[in-house]
Chain A
Amino acid sequence: MPVAATDAPSSPPVSTLVVDDLSRRFGRRWALARVSLTVPAGGGLLLLGANGSGKTTLLRTLATALRPHRGSASLGGRDLWEDRRALRPRIALLTHAPGLYADLSAAENLRAWAAMGGHAVDAAARLAEVGLTDAADRVVRTFSAGMVRRLALARILLKSPDLVLLDEPFSALDPEGRAVVAKAAQAVRARGATLVLSTHHAPLAASLCDQAIRLHEGQIVWRGAPDDPQAAVPADGALV
């Protein structure tokens, strides 16, 4: 496992993710119930489970988009919710909602997001990384779902985060697109950042992560290695 290569080697690893008894409800339903886990700095965690099992809720809670109703999570020893203003620049979340402006072009989107974050960006280089060079000046409204996903990935990586959360990053992508996402995820871990990923694409996930959990109705029902044959078999028999 790669050891965290942080900017400040003397301090404790800034990207260690510790989740303790984390629960979150929506209305009367617990979408996430007593989840506890630890991902060491630079580690990769694979989330498995059927649709509605709580994977997206866990990722959104770790991204500080949702307040935990019980328990806590911390990154590098700092509480995620309490210190959310300070930690948000260091956490990147990719979900099915890309966070892009449909009426702007790909390059304009990246420049706008960089400007709101207070820095300039080499949009051409960022777009080249995700294979969108030819589409740089096209309006996002005309993009296919796969292109939107790639651009959304480029957007969240503008932050150079310590914690990267990817929710079903391979869905709607062709093999080339999956390779782009996988390469970016590997680069994230090589930098020492922590990766949490939910996917149904087992072969790719096994190469990107070093531990796995399966969620069912918001609870962890299985822990193991991502290349464990059991990782491919849903525990409750529900196939997606």
Chain B
Amino acid sequence: MELMRIKDLPITADLAGFAAVVGVIALGAVAWVARGGLTRRWEHLVGLLGLWMVIVGQYMGLVSSPRERMMGEVGRILYVHVPSAWLTMLTFTFTCAFATFFLFSGKRHWDHLVEATAEVGVVLSILLQATGMLFAKPTWGVFWDWDPRLVSTTVMMLSFMGVLTLRGLLDDVDRRATWTSVGSILATTSMIVTYFSVRWWRSIHQMQSSPDTVADPMVFVLRWNAFAFLFLTVWFVVQRARLSARREALDAPPALPEEVPA
């Protein structure tokens, strides 16, 4: 079977396209959630679709797709690594967006979505780090390299872990929601600055740039897996948001007593 090089993949360009598709879907979903969409259990359909796509996608990635030219079988980790990278970025972007929505509107469902996306984002970024390290060892010879993408996602993961720690320490519902949102916005903005400053720090040390040539069979499997991960992420996020809402309902105060005539 034909062999390809991972470096040939137009990963950045593809992320932009993927993000655009997701953005359009998300806009509709956000408008729907704002109208109370979390009351209906629609996400299992998406979750099942995601599960099926992951099984098929990983079969394609691990078995049926051609071997990578430079790294051989190791290159197949790409079909987990790249989708988790994209989804980490997207999930944290949504955390920031939901946090902004919460600060402007004060509606509780945004807070549940902030918590859900932050937690799922942390899990995805752990997956990203783990696969990235497994990938880096045979290709670069080390588990960790000071790559801007690696450093900035690590920094963002640590930031969001800090935010979730802070959230766990707060008892008051309103304060917890506001402070989580503030922390999430800070974490996301700092990630952008970190990415550019680290990239620039590395560029001084001559980092190679990759040519943008396309290897079609790989791109298809990659896209397939990206959407599979997207659907699974949506399922996890919605489930987690429901859990937050339930927990909050459990902590809700009892009904106010009737007015006592004085």
Which of these binds chain B: A29-37, A43-51, A130-138?
A: A29-37
Shortest beta-carbon distance from B111 to chain A in Å: 15
Smallest Cβ distance from A196 to chain B, in angstroms? 17
**Majority SS of interface residues in chain A?**
strand
Q: Residue A219 contacts which of B171, B173, B260 (CB distance < 8 angstroms)?
A: B260
Pairwise interchain contact B257-A221, C-beta atoms closer than 8 A = no
Q: Which of B82-90, B96-104, B198-206, B248-256 contacts A (4 or more CB under 8 A)?
A: B248-256
For the complex, give the distance between the alpha carbons of A219 and B171 in Å.
24
Chain B residues within 8 Å of A23, by CB: 256
Chain A neighbourhood of B257, CB < 8 A: 30, 33-34, 219
Residue A223 interfacial (CB < 8 Å): yes
Residues of B within 8 A of A67 (CB): 174
Contact between chains at A27 and B174 (CB < 8 Å)? no
CB-CB < 8 A to B262: which residues of A? 213, 220-223
Docked pose: A67 CA to B177 CA in angstroms: 14
| B171, B173, B259, B262: residue with the most chain A Cβ atoms closer than 10 Å | B262
Interface centre among B174, B251, B259 (most CB of A within 10 A): B259
- A84 interfacial contact with B, CB 8 Å: no
Is A70's CB under 8 angstroms from B254's CB?
A: no
**B-facing residues in A1-52 (Cβ within 8 Å):** 23, 25-30, 33-34, 36
Tell yes or no: B172 within 8 A of A by CB.
yes
A190 to B147, CA, bound (A): 71
| A76→B16 CA distance, assembly (Å) | 55
| Cα distance A223–B262 in the bound complex, in angstroms | 6
Instruction: Choose one: A26, A36, A213, A221; the contact of B172 (CB below 8 Å).
Output: A26
Q: How far is the CA of A213 from the CA of B262 in the complex (A)?
A: 9
Using CB atoms, name the residue of chain B closest to A219.
B260
Residues of A within 8 A of B171 (CB): 27
Nearest-Cβ distance from residue B170 to partner chain A, whole angstroms: 11
Task: Say whether A29 contacts B253, CB under 8 Å.
Answer: yes
A227 and B262 alpha carbons, distance in the complex (Å): 17
Query: How far is A28 from B254 in the complex, measured between Cα atoms in Å?
Result: 7
Complex Cα–Cα for A223 and B260 (A): 11
Q: Which chain B residues lie closer than 8 Å to A29 at the CB level?
A: 253
Nearest-neighbor residue (CB-CB) of A67 within chain B: B174
Beyond A34-B257, A220-B262, A222-B262, whether A28 also contacts B174 by CB under 8 A is no
Is the CB–CB distance between B253 and A28 below 8 Å? Answer: yes
**Chain A 203-240 interface mask (CB, 8 Å, partner B; 1/0):** 00000000001000001111100000000000000000
B171, B172, B251, B257: most-surrounded residue (chain A CB, <10 A): B257
Q: A213 to B260: give the CA distance in the assembly, Å.
A: 13
| Segment 135-192 of B: residues with Cβ below 8 Å from A | 171-174
**Chain B residue nearest in CB terms to A23:** B256
Query: Bound state CA distance, A34 and B174, in angstroms?
Result: 20
CA distance A220 to B260 in the complex (A): 7
Query: Which of A67, A70, A219, A222 has the most chain B CB atoms inside 10 A of its CB?
Result: A219
**Residues on the B chain within 8 Å of A25, using CB:** 253
Report chain A residues within 8 Å CB of B254. Answer: 28, 30
Given contacts A213-B262, A222-B262, contact A28 B252 (CB under 8 A): yes
A70 and B171 alpha carbons, distance in the complex (Å): 20
Which residues of A lie under 8 Å from residue B173 when comparing CB positions?
27
Chain B's closest residue to A70 (CB) is B256
Complex CA gap A139/B46 in Å reads: 66
- Please report A residues at the B interface, Cβ cutoff 8 Å: 23, 25-30, 33-34, 36, 67, 70, 213, 219-223
Chain B residues with CB under 8 Å of chain A are 171-174, 251-254, 256-257, 259-260, 262
10 A-B pairs with C-beta separation under 8 A: A26-B172, A27-B171, A27-B172, A28-B253, A33-B257, A34-B256, A34-B259, A219-B257, A219-B260, A220-B262
